[in-house]
Homo-oligomer: A and B are copies of this chain.
Amino acid sequence: MHTFRVELGARSYPIYIGPGLLGQPDVVAPHVGGRQVMIVTNTTVAPLYLTQTKAAFAAYDTHVVILPDGEQYKTLGTLQQIFDQLVDKRYERDCTLVALGGGVIGDLTGFAAACYQRGVPFIQIPTTLLAQVDSSVGGKTGVNHPHAKNMIGAFHQPRCVLAATDTLDSLDDRQLSAGIAEIIKYGLIRDTEFLIWLEANMEKLLARDSGALSFAIERSCHNKAQVVAADETESGLRATLNLGHTFGHAIEAASGYGAWLHGEAVATGMLMAADLSARLGWLSTAEVHRIESLLVLARLPTRAPAQMDYPTFMKYMSMDKKIQAGRLRLVLLKQLGEAVVTADYEAALLKACIDEHHALSNA
């Protein structure tokens, strides 16, 4: 088991990474405050890991909420179901919520913990690669609005994160690749050494080599933790973690949440961001192709849905949280390993980028 701390002053917390972490009372005990625990999970994860997880919390008064599986349930309505259980079971202010599942469960449970009685502790047990390397680290929680993703939420840090790598054995290949998209992101925005490692080790990751996965998870968490520690509430640097996300969110929203996996949409979005960066003269065409090759190697999609033309992208991108004073800020690459957040680009270049992408999608 590897451990490292996300340094956020009074809100610092450890991330535990490794196999065999589920079902260990000693790992979670230091992070549970009171005597009441509520485990929130979904219909896919519960049959796989709920029994083990409950064993870790056997010493507490524990109830379980099992939600339907899918991004389309990341809503205020589902949140209300968690609150109903908490209130009806008389959960008190010193209770602990446990998120057992992927990013949707983590975001929902974390937001419920942020709001219940104006804030109770929670523990993240991410069971997807995407959640282990991204959403479980950093304290962003929330739900989607029907017209815009992650529009409603809070910053609320977990008491600890358990990245139990053996839970990845049950992930389907598409989910695995979606997680790898966010791993590649860290290489692109701030860690070229890791990018080179990924190019050399992608086959091992896809084969679920335990050592390779542990290394990639730890390196990703480390990258994310450094960025979050420097900018907890996203006033600047943290926004670079959203490389590919503005394009990606538009793809997810336009396709209906759930049709594309988040990581898949981000992969395509990162390629579009790289293309725009090249149009600004910051990347070479060869570098854009290098990024595309890595994404293809990771079995990720690199083309948006064929119907997504420039007006469609702009309609959905204009809902993005990174809008400021009406200008759409995008995360772009100054070079490989260096991201910037900027609204300082010609609108015509963005249009040309999307138009060409649209043409390729329809080729």
Chain A interface (Cβ within 8 Å of chain B)? Answer: 34-35, 76, 79-80, 83-84, 86-88, 90, 92-94, 114-119, 140, 142, 145, 147-148, 151-155, 233-234, 318-319, 321-326
When chains A and B are docked, how far (Å) is the Cα of A233 from the Cα of B142? 21
- CB contact between A153 and one of B79, B90, B118, B233 (< 8 Å): that residue: B118
Whether A87 touches B145, Cβ cut-off 8 Å, given contacts A118-B140, A321-B117, A324-B94, is yes
Nearest residue (CB) in B for A140 is B118
When chains A and B are docked, how far (Å) is the Cα of A147 from the Cα of B91? 13
A80 touches B76 (CB 8 A): yes
Nearest residue (CB) in B for A139 is B118
List the B side residues contacting A152 at CB < 8 Å: 83, 115-116
Whether A154 touches B325, Cβ cut-off 8 Å, given contacts A87-B319, A145-B83, is no
- CB contact between A321 and one of B93, B151, B155 (< 8 Å): that residue: B93
Q: How far is the CB of A187 from chain B (nearest CB, A)?
A: 27
Nearest residue (CB) in B for A145 is B87
5 closest Cβ pairs, A-B complex: A92-B323, A118-B153, A115-B152, A87-B145, A117-B321
List the B side residues contacting A326 at CB < 8 Å: 92
List the B side residues contacting A148 at CB < 8 Å: 87
When chains A and B are docked, how far (Å) is the Cα of A140 from the Cα of B87? 19
When chains A and B are docked, how far (Å) is the Cα of A169 from the Cα of B79? 40
B115 touches A154 (CB 8 A): yes
- CB contact between A87 and one of B114, B115, B151, B155 (< 8 Å): that residue: B151
List the B side residues contacting A34 at CB < 8 Å: 324-325
A90 touches B318 (CB 8 A): yes
Can you list 5 A-B pairs, Cβ within 8 angstroms, ordered by A?
A: A90-B318, A92-B323, A92-B325, A117-B151, A119-B155
Q: How far is the CB of A316 from chain B (nearest CB, A)?
A: 12
B324 touches A83 (CB 8 A): no
List the B side residues contacting A233 at CB < 8 Å: 118-119
